[in-house]
A and B are shown apart, each in its own frame.
Chain A
Amino acid sequence: MNDIKVKVKDLSLRYGTNLALKGISMDIPEKMVTAFIGPSGCGKSTFLRTLNRMNDLIDNVSIEGEVFIDNTNIYDKNIDVVNLRKKVGMIFQKSNPFAKSVYDNIAFGPRINGISNKSNLDEIVERSLQQAAIWDEVKDRLFHSALSLSGGQQQRICIARSLAVNPEIILMDEPASALDPISTAKIEELIDELKKKYTIIIVTHNMQQAARISSKTGFFYLGKLIEYNATEKIFTNPDVKQTEDYITGRFG
């Protein structure tokens, strides 16, 4: 049984007067893949963003409840949000490498954190690209622009970039939805490898992807967490009828 990495207690979120998340509570285990599924607008991406306080960047957002990472409430007043976002990295649906070389993309985070020694940076860049399963493809093009790579490769550069600052948790918001099946399969195989070291939390509108790669799945609907269970249970015999209706395609 894995330890609990993230403990969410009764979390609610409003965009202005609009109640987007309603009393969410869940325990997310470490070094496993947890997936959130649900229809568009159900709150799963909003919820994901509460885990590294990305919603702070949106005006008019108010939050109630608590999010504990390793027993520390990340919404406490004295939390260093920049440090939080190193520890809890994020990968977005549309890959967003900087308009810089592959090398500079990966070295960016470490450099900001004060690492300037070239051989240290070289080592970090190579290690991160190896971990993101893209080293072989880019090792001879490290100083070419990251934007010259394919969509699937750019996404793996973004993953390598987040790995370079030693996260503990990696949040992924539909990381493969813009990719072709082969690139998607490579990303999924990469996630399978990464979960040995990192806690992975992924939002996906592709239920089959959640079924393939996650150990636990949460089903969200209209801002509420309807069911949160072992993935195998969700997809063979869910507890809640609404979950079963959704995954069997009975959308009503």
Chain B
Amino acid sequence: MVEKRHTSTHYERELRDVKESLLYLGALVEKAIELAVKALLDRDTEIARKVICDDNTIDQLDVEIEEKCIRILALRQPTARDLRYITTAIKINGHLERIGDMAANIAEKAIILSGEPPMKPYIDIPRMAEIARAMIKESLDALVNEDTNLAQKVRVEDETIDNLNEQVFRELLTFMLEDPKNIHRSLIIMQISKSLERISDHAVGIADMVVYMVTGKSVRHAPACESQE
């Protein structure tokens, strides 16, 4: 169903501009993850440094998008779905910026590891990175198409990443127990795995906000424990 356009073409443009900026930011952070993991796999410190430096661009775009949203709130007093859209955009913006920070963290760890002999081939880490990038793309597609089913799919994929993270942890534990000389590298690799796990949590955060935007219902929090009868 094609939504009616707002009477003010100027306002319509402003709303579209926010969406386009978010999609651009999404593309930047996806690229950052790809390059950070490439830097890890190829032991390439130059690529790693580029990722760290490019995080400035991501931070600047975060501020710009936030200012655009504040401006719309101040000058347009959006209501109903426009209000949910702008508040969703502000939160998604925050999630994407944090994902950018996680990618920069991974790049920093890649630089450290490149200075030490490799411990083992990376299998689960690149897999996690690929799934995380797909989750970001899907959550933003869900935003553009207002697709709550796709948003729900992202939630399910998060479980795969959680399981892989635990798998990585268990495997690295065996390396650390085997030989204390492995501890330093293992801990750093665990931090990388944790960063990817947090990236996927942020992608779920984006997907949850899309559900809120479309339905008005907040699905962000599952109950922490069963309530006592």
User: Which residues of A are interface residues toward B (Cβ below 8 A)?
Assistant: 182, 185-186, 188-189, 192, 208, 211-212, 231-232, 235-236
Interface membership of B220, Cβ < 8 A: no
Interface-located stretch among B7-15, B17-25, B102-110, B170-178 = B7-15
B77: which of A186, A211, A232 is its contact (CB, 8 Å)?
A: A211
User: Which residues of B are interface residues toward A (Cβ below 8 A)?
Assistant: 7-11, 70-71, 74-77
Q: Main secondary structure on chain A at its contact with chain B?
A: helix
The smallest C-beta distance from A179 to any residue of chain B, in angstroms, reads 13
Q: Main secondary structure on chain B at its contact with chain A?
A: helix
9 inter-chain pairs at a CB distance below 8 angstroms, sorted by A residue, are A182-B7, A188-B7, A192-B10, A211-B76, A212-B75, A212-B76, A231-B75, A232-B71, A235-B75
**Would you call B9 and A232 a contact (CB within 8 A)?**
no
> With A211-B76, A211-B77, A212-B76 in contact, is A192–B8 under 8 Å at CB?
yes
Q: Which residues of B contact A186 (CB under 8 A)?
A: 7
A211's closest neighbor in chain B, by CB?
B75
B67's closest neighbor in chain A, by CB?
A236
A232's closest neighbor in chain B, by CB?
B71
A189: which of B7, B74, B75, B76 is its contact (CB, 8 Å)?
A: B7
Q: What 5 pairs across the A-B complex have the smallest Cβ distances?
A: A185-B7, A235-B74, A211-B75, A236-B74, A208-B77
Query: How many Å lie between the Cα of A211 and that of B11 in the bound state?
Result: 12
**Would you call B75 and A232 a contact (CB within 8 A)?**
yes
A192's closest neighbor in chain B, by CB?
B10
**Would you call B71 and A189 a contact (CB within 8 A)?**
no
Query: How many Å lie between the Cα of A212 and that of B8 in the bound state?
Result: 10
**Would you call A236 and B8 a contact (CB within 8 A)?**
no
A186's closest neighbor in chain B, by CB?
B7
> With A211-B77, A212-B76 in contact, is A188–B8 under 8 Å at CB?
yes
The smallest C-beta distance from A239 to any residue of chain B, in angstroms, reads 15
**Would you call B75 and A185 a contact (CB within 8 A)?**
no
A sample of 16 more A-B contacts (CB under 8 A), given A211-B77, A232-B74, A236-B70, is A182-B7, A185-B8, A189-B7, A189-B9, A192-B8, A192-B9, A192-B10, A208-B77, A211-B74, A211-B75, A211-B76, A212-B11, A232-B71, A232-B75, A236-B71, A236-B74
